Homo-oligomer: A and B are copies of this chain.
Amino acid sequence: MATADWALYTRRALERSGHRSSAPRAAVVDTLAELGCSVTAREIANRVEQRGRAVGLASVYRTLELLEQMGLVQRVDLGEGVARFEPAHGSGEHHHHLVCDSCGNVTAFEDADLERAIERLSGRVDFAIDAHDVTLRGECPACHATTSPS
């Protein structure tokens, strides 16, 4: 399964580039793999602690920063004033996020049509585009049900 692959690959990549394999760092990698899509640094620290081990928040941030520079982690900003992070799966996989305005719930989606539109657009603008974010906001099914009970 992809999440275990990523954790493994990431640990290898760290080794390969001469980084020491420390317990805290491994815990962050494993936990990010476990939690998956768009998690905050604090969520990672909390989860690690739940599992008995413990990591300083600073180390979580330092690890995430390192991994981001290595292209193994993607930083995501959904406009909540908190940075979110997720495993970066190679070049292929590519998703964006739906955010529920009521409960803050975050879900991922992918859409080839959208990607195509953005790609075309990228060729048309005068910037040299190399990344893009799309965030859709609204109400998730659960909140929608309670808000407008038909």
Say whether A139 contacts B127, CB under 8 Å. yes
A82 to chain B minimum Cβ distance, whole angstroms, is 10
**Residue on B with the closest CB to A148?**
B128
What is the bound-complex CA distance between A134 and B96, given in angstroms? 10
The interface on chain A, measured as residues whose beta carbon lies within 8 A of the other chain's beta carbons, has a size of: 36
Q: Mark A17-53, 1 if CB is under 8 A from B, else 0.
A: 0000000000000000000000000000000000000
Known contacts A117-B113, A121-B111: A136-B128 contact under CB 8 Å: no
Q: Does A90 have its Cβ within 8 Å of any Cβ on chain B?
A: no
Q: Mark A105-120, 1 if CB is under 8 A from B, else 0.
A: 0010101011011101
Q: Which residues of B contact A122 (CB under 8 A)?
A: 136, 138
Q: Which residues of B contact A149 (CB under 8 A)?
A: none
Of B101, B113, B125, the residue contacting A120 (CB under 8 A) is B113
Say whether A127 contacts B100, CB under 8 Å. yes
